[in-house]
Chain A
Amino acid sequence: DAGVTQSPTHLIKTRGQQVTLRCSPISGHKSVSWYQQVLGQGPQFIFQYYEKEERGRGNFPDRFSARQFPNYSSELNVNALLLGDSALYLCASSSGTSALDTQYFGPGTRLTVL
C-alpha cells in the first residue's frame, strides 16, 4: 500500500512569493495534518483537516492556509513568503481526529526561501 505522498520534494522561492504544497493521505484516511519543521527543531503543528473541515490550527499567521478535497488530499498554501518560512513541511494522515490515532508522516517538502 502506498504511504503518504507529498509534492514537490524540493522547492525554491523568493521572498514575497506564494507557494502551494500538496499531500495525498493513505487510502482510507480522512484526516490530514500539516507540520513545519525548521532545521534543528521538532515539527510544529500548523493545521488539521478532517472530512474537509478545519479541526485545529496552530500558532501560525494568516499567511498560512490549507484545504482538503473530497478525495481527502490536501494543499497547504503560504502567501507573502518570508525567509523564516524556509523549512521542511510535513504532512501526516490518520484515520481519526485524535493524535492518539497513529499518525503516518510523509517524507516532506523542503521549502527554501531566498
Chain B
Amino acid sequence: GDSVTQMEGPVTLSEEAFLTINCTYTATGYPSLFWYVQYPGEGLQLLLKATKADDKGSNKGFEATYRKETTSFHLEKGSVQVSDSAVYFCALTGGGSNYKLTFGKGTLLTVNP
C-alpha cells in the first residue's frame, strides 16, 4: 500500500539556519503530495502541496518539489525563525483512495534564538 517515510527527528536549528526535511514515498499511480504542520496546541494545517511531477509547492518561505524520479518531496526553507518550531508531516493522496491522506511519522523542528 501507499506509504510515506520522512527523516527522523528531532531537528534542532539556530534562527536563520537552512532547513531540509527529507520525505520519500511509495504509491501506486501518481499521488498528490503535501506538507502539513502542527504548531504546539493547534490543529494540523496545510503548509503546501504539489499535484504532479516537477510541481513546486511554496508557502511562508517553505518550498518542496515533487520529484517523480526519486519519489521524493523534501521540505526546505532558507532561513528558519523561532516561530517555525512545530511538527512537520509529509503526506500523500492518490490512486484509488484519493479520499484519504497517508501521513509520515512527523518531524519535530525546534528553532532556537
* A residues apposed to B, CB below 8 Å: 3-4, 33, 35, 40-45, 48, 55-56, 58, 90, 92, 97-100, 102-108
In the bound complex, do residue A45 and residue B101 qualify as a contact, i.e. CB atoms below 8 Å apart? yes
Q: Is chain B's binding surface mostly helix, strand, loop or mixed?
A: strand
Min C-beta distance of A34 to chain B, whole Å = 10
CA distance A106 to B41 in the complex (A): 11
* B residues apposed to A, CB below 8 Å: 4, 32, 41-46, 49, 51, 89, 91, 93, 97-106
In the bound complex, do residue B51 and residue A4 qualify as a contact, i.e. CB atoms below 8 Å apart? no
Closest residue of chain B to A46 (Cβ to Cβ) is B100
In the bound complex, do residue A98 and residue B43 qualify as a contact, i.e. CB atoms below 8 Å apart? no
Min C-beta distance of A113 to chain B, whole Å = 22
Chain A residues with Cβ below 8 Å from B42 are: 107
